[in-house]
A = this chain, B = another copy of it.
Amino acid sequence: MTDKKQNKPDIVDVARIARVSISTVSRSYNHPELVKPATRKKIERAVQKLGYIRNRAAQVMHGRRSGTIGLVVPTIDNAIFAELIQSFSDKLDQHGFTMLIASHGFDLDREYKMLRKLLEHRVDGLAVIGLEHSDPTYQLIEQQNIPTVAIWNYNKSSALSCIGVDNAEAGRLAARHLISLGHRKIGLVFPDPSGNDRAYDRLNGAVSEFRTAGIEIPENWRLEAPYSVREAKRASILLLEQGHRPTAILCGNDIIAQGVLYASNHLSLKVPDDLSIMGIGDFKGSAEVEPSLSTIRIPAKRIGLMAAELISDTIAGQHADITAMKLELRVMARHSTSRL
């Protein structure tokens, strides 16, 4: 406490205590093989004694990497993203990176601001969710030429490198599953698609598949529900209480599907006998609900992992630029859907 300065110990302090030059201290961190073992020991002891921790900021100024990757997500508090973020972060950690995270609540203007914030911190790489972003956002990313990958949505003609699934296909697959079970009276519960290309694509995929099969969804069977079990339950109760109701409901994601499931329970509708329910996502727990939820499996963990891998490798200069990577979807036919 009576140290000559109140502040954190310096590389200079370490050098002084270890009785070597600061270059040697620096080297013992960055090129340990160039410094004599005995000297290294001395330095180590000094570091211990002082509780010295290197200052990344100073390193960054030297053109060194910051060792951080920025991730911009709509929200963290969401089963899908949480799983993704976890695997992304784990893989980054394995590569020695730390994750800076910013969430914008589905507001693309805020997304832009958060992106700038991350860039001020000189992140070495960047990941964003989906392919729908504001023009300034795209320009910014373009301009900075920092390795960037768009996660979650796949589109072969994307301007950004992307790793994810084809959400339109997810919608189609889900629709086809219901069609194949003989359903023709179908309700839709989806999130608001604005600023959310995942939801938009799924909805479009589903609707077009139904149309192809000659099925039109009446307006009053199309519901919008936020990402929330509660709201989805509330909204779908209204739908299901109508005298004339669908035989199946296709949901924009598993959370909504759970809401619909509980709504059915609440109204004493037997699932799947009275009503088939189809989700999209296959979140943790979807296989465990009773009845287990039929859904489209999106490999969130794998997406996060591969995205982290791609960014790390790009930074390390391995790949020039993989532009698009599509992961496979799988129909998980479980017990919330049945033949009509």
Contact = CB atoms under 8 A, between A and B. Distances in A.
Contacts of A340: none
Given A61-B61, A79-B82, 5 more contacts: A53-B119, A56-B57, A56-B121, A67-B121, A266-B290
Contacts of A285: 229-230, 255, 258
A100 B103 contact: no
Contacts of A116: 53
Given A89-B103, A100-B99, A122 B56 contact: yes
Interface in A48-69: 51, 53-58, 60-61, 63, 66-68
A288 interface: yes
Contacts of A114: 93
Given A56-B120, A265-B290, A266-B290, A98 B98 contact: no
A318 interface: no
A45 interface: no
Given A55-B120, A119-B53, A288 B60 contact: no
Copies of the protein in its oligomer: 2
* Size range of the chain A interface in the assembly: 35 or more
A86 interface: yes
A48 B58 CA distance: 27
User: Which of A53, A60, A230, A265 has the most chain B CB atoms closer than 10 A to its own CB?
Assistant: A53
Interface stretch (A34-42, A70-78, A169-177, A190-198): A70-78
Contact of A121 (B8, B87, B98, B287): B98
A34 B20 CA distance: 44
Given A76-B85, A103-B86, A103-B90, A259 B288 contact: yes
A76 B82 contact: yes
Contacts of A85: 76-77
A118 interface: yes
A284 interface: yes
A101 interface: yes
A102 interface: yes
A103 B119 CA distance: 22
Contacts of A101: 89, 99-101
B77 A230 contact: no
Interface in A1-20: 7-8
User: Which of A103, A287, A288 has the most chain B CB atoms closer than 10 A to its own CB?
Assistant: A288
Interface in A155-203: none
A26 interface: no
B102 A100 contact: no
7 contacts: A7-B63, A51-B143, A57-B60, A57-B61, A77-B83, A90-B105, A98-B118
Given A57-B61, A99-B101, A99-B102, A82 B78 contact: yes
Contacts of A99: 100-102
